[in-house]
Amino acid sequence: MAVIQKYGKNYSPDLVCHKENHLPDKIGAPGSHKKWTEQNTSWSRPVARVWTVVLLLGTCLLYCARVAMPICAVSMAEQFKWSKRESGMVLGSFFWGYCFTQVFGGYVSDRVGGEKVLLLSAAAWGSMTAFTPILAHFCSQPILSMTLARFLMGLLQGVHYPSLASLCSQKVVESERGFLMSTVGSGSYLGTLVIGGAGSLMLDLYGWESVFYVSGLLSVMWAYCMWKYLLKGEGPIITLESLGNSGPQSKLSKRHWLRLLKQPAVCAVIVTHLCTASTFFTLLSWLPTFFKDTFPEAKGWVFNVIPWFVAIPSSLFSGCLSDHLISQGYDTASVRKLMQFFSMGVSSVFTLLLCGTTTFPWAVAFVSATMGLTTFSHSGVSVNVQDLAPSCAGALFGVMNTCGAFSGVLMVYFSGYLIEATGSWATVFALITTVNLLGLCTFLAFAEARRVDIESSKVRHHNIHI
């Protein structure tokens, strides 16, 4: 019944067949089912609630550390005499590292446990954040040290979300995964909101160095508390032997992946997510600089806080709206397209309004509307990947996120070049609108909600997990 309710009108008898025939003797060698059960005991509800709060706080701190550089970029550029192009290179270098560790993070987490990868990575990127001011001041070429530091930050933070997905799949029962992932995911907006407000005040009162010190040390403290009280002081040891052990997840064949990637709906999801991610990363990186350049007398906490106050309830509303429409019998694919239309289509209208001459309050209102509507993609393309390929949604999302991060690198840097070459922010907002419309048209034309990870002529029970 869970399968029927989940897929609604896209339900196929094949799905029930997969569910009913998912027997232990179909997976690996004898005893593997027992090993799976022993290694993946689900958390009790009280324990799951504690982990939900801890992981929410961890994701919040992840974004505090990530957004520290965009908030401080203007002050650092003034101190170190960076051009807009050099600032774009520093900001964009994060995504070069971020796009390389998505699949790797999931691979390691599946074999040694997502909690270990989360712990080690948080300790590492927290320390890197705290040492950033030291690297900037004591290196003879701050532009090089900051570019390298941001690249390493991207490498270390790239494993976070794949590790969360792996940990959730291993430790949380299916009926509670949605609550945990949606709650933890809201930590990204909360973190941006916190660093936007508190970080701007620290920047004005104590200098840009304080933003890095505080966010970095808090992240290290979070990792320590997680190790001390949740992992009970157990060492997060990752050995080559543990990496070599095959995880409980089935291995998808090369032929399966080639067939999957040839599906127009899958290609549409990848292209749309690429466009969504690149425009979001560009706005996240350059909006503080836009407000500082256009409204130099404006208080930083205003434009760094208000848009994220709008984004949090907007994200929750989009999820409730999409679930309600589907429960009322509307076609799933149509609902996904509607959510994506708000995310990329309607938001582009407010982005274009920033191109004209406007006052500070109107600029804040337009940016807030843009960021709020952008969150509707969580109920559009981000969920559509689960409609299309539930048997390999994590791996496919890793591919999507890698493409999105790579495009973010190029677009953040190219935006800096446009600003310097034209002297106008209108070119950047026009670029964002163009990319959004490209992704939206692709999604509206080719997106579907039926499963494409199974063959109607051949049932592969060992490749499907529901």
Does pLDDT of 391 surpass 70? no
Distance CA 216, CA 40 (A): 32
pLDDT in tens, 353-369: 988 877 889 999 999 99
CA distance 28 to 25: 7
What residue spans of 81-141 are helical by DSSP H? 84-98, 102-112, 114-138
Q: What is the pLDDT confidence band of residue 225, given thresholds at 50, 70 and 90?
A: very high
The 3-class SS string of 239-273 reads CHHHHHCCCCCCCCCHHHHHHHHCCHHHHHHHHHH
Given a cut of 70, whether residue 8 has pLDDT beyond it is: no
How distant, in Å, are the alpha carbons of 120, 274, 374, 385 from that of 270? 30, 6, 17, 9
pLDDT value, residue 173: 64
What is the chain's mean pLDDT, rounded?
79
Q: Do 304 and 197 contact (CB within 8 A), yes or no?
A: yes
Checking if the pLDDT of 377 tops 90, the result is no
Non-local (6+) Cβ contacts of 314 within 8 A are 372, 373, 375, 376
- Please give the C-alpha separations between residue 36 and each of 24, 29, 144, 165, in angstroms, as whole numbers: 10, 12, 47, 17
Tokens of 156: 């270390």
Give residue-wise pLDDT tens across range 74-93. 899 999 998 888 888 898 88
Tokens of 38: 């022993």
Report field, pTM of the whole predicted structure over 0.85:
no
Neighbours of 232 (CB within 10 A): 7
The 10 Å Cβ neighbour count of residue 254 is: 7
CA-CA distance, 62 to 187, in Å (whole number)? 9
- 154-190, pLDDT tens digit by residue? 999 998 887 877 777 677 664 455 466 667 777 888 8
Instruction: Assess contact for 76 and 133: CB atoms under 8 A.
Output: no
For the cut 50, the answer to whether the pLDDT of residue 2 exceeds it is no
d(CA 414, CA 431) in angstroms, rounded, equals 10
Where would I find the beta strands (DSSP E) of 289-365?
none
Contact of 292 with 360, CB cutoff 8 Å? no
Q: Which two tokens stand for residue 322?
A: 């999409």
Q: Quick one: which of 64, 114, 63, 394 has its CA closest to 226?
A: 114
Q: How many CB atoms lie within 10 A of CB 86?
A: 18
State which amino acid sits at residue 445. A
Residues 161 and 184: beta-carbon distance below 8 Å: no
Identify the weakest region by mean pLDDT among 13-27, 224-238, 291-305, 430-444. Answer: 13-27
Tell me how far apart the alpha carbons of residues 398 and 410 are, in angstroms, rounded to a whole number: 19
